[in-house]
Amino acid sequence: MSNMTLSEELTWRGFVNQTTYPKLEDINVDNSKFYHGYDASADSLTIGNLAAVMMDKCFIRHGRNGVILAGGATSLIGDPGGKDSERPLQSEETIRKNVASVNSQLKSLLGEQLEFVNNLDWFSEMNVLTFLREVGKYFSVTPLIQRDYISKRIGEGGSGISFTELGYTLLQGYDYLELFEKYNVRLQLSGSDQWGNSLSGVELVKKAKNQTVNVFTCPLIVNKSTGKKFGKSESGAVWLDVNKTPVLDFYQFWIKLDDAGVEGYLKVFTELDKDSIDEVIVKHKSNPSGRHAQTVLADEVTKLVHGEVEVEKARQATKALVTGGMDHDGLSRITTKLPITIIELLVNSELVSSKSEARRLIESGGIYVNGTAYSKDEIEVEDFKDSKLILRRGKAINNSVVIELEA
């Protein structure tokens, strides 16, 4: 994107939401070090988090240096933003494990040239009196409780909010002050849901140090066809960890996206430049049923997260599931002998929990052999290709098993 300024690329990719800069173009001449904080309430990022990571990568491409902050302390409290009730508190041991896992993912995505810090390192040494004297005194309660996510909780019909949650924004504000003093950070990057918390940091640095710092937020990505928060599948969130979302399911999530938002997703979730994406869209529109844009998107994002080798496996397995071919790397497998009924095979493969469930799925057309709906009673030798077949329950890729015929 060498022909675009930072502000132009951020705008073109759809990363601009709110900022404290008087003019967005001011960001082009401000070479300040940025920081971006990540939650550690789970041991993996989701593709929703990935959008924010791609914003970070945009800043890095334009020569900005940064600090990645793990919320080891703030995750012990839980961000009340966007929540109708208080999160269950997790143990410090769990949070530490989560931090290690998420940091590993971020280093893979962003590179290890950035500085990685954990806010537990300074909060664990701070006592409550110090916090109240050095942080609490700078905040008025009135504007805090007027923030949308807090006022909704304490208003009529709300579930209420604990002092612990109310203090979350002060902790995040102090993060900015700490990073300003120790790392000369003058810009915070975050998602739009963190705008209010980010302003706490701007306010604290201003009051405590009489210095001006800035915030830049990206919008939450929304599925254009459903209007809902992006990154959900039929089985829940789409994770970057292969143990939570297998590579094949991850790849298929992108392949299955409809046309409504695919151009926007290419801009957000890949590093392809404008000319390349324009070319992809032109080719896609010439034959929408070929799903060229979705395939490029799936290839690029899966390569970024899981590597080229896994992309090729996902391509071949997808081909097998669509065409009934036998390129089936990445699928689990069992062996069987003939004769065997389709119901017995479904139970043996653990694709169903009972024979009655198998019957219901067969009757509804929800069982596939080599990509084709299967309704025969018994599996036949002709169903096997090179002594193998792919048995699938429904459309979910993770519900597929390779069946190998014993000699």
Question: Are 6 and 27 spatial neighbours (Cβ–Cβ below 8 Å)?
Answer: yes
pTM tops 0.85: no
Question: Residue 299: which residues within 8 A CB-CB, separation 6 or more?
Answer: 311, 315
Cα separation, 180 vs 212, in Å, equals 10
Cα separation, 53 vs 189, in Å, equals 10
What's the pLDDT at 114? 95
Beta-carbon count within 10 A of 40 CB = 27
CA 12, 13, 17: angle at the middle one, nearest 5?
A: 90
| Pair type for strands 33-38 and 185-191 | parallel
Radius of gyration from C-alpha coordinates of the chain = 25
What's the pLDDT at 90? 82
What's the pLDDT at 234? 53
Cα separation, 253 vs 105, in Å, equals 20
pLDDT-flagged residues of the chain (< 50): 83-85, 326
Cα separation, 372 vs 380, in Å, equals 14
Q: Could you please report the per-residue DSSP string of 201-260? A: HHHHHHHHH----EEEEEPPPB-TTT-SBSSEETTEE-BSSTTTS-HHHHHHHHHT--GG
Q: Which two tokens stand for residue 314?
A: 């996902």
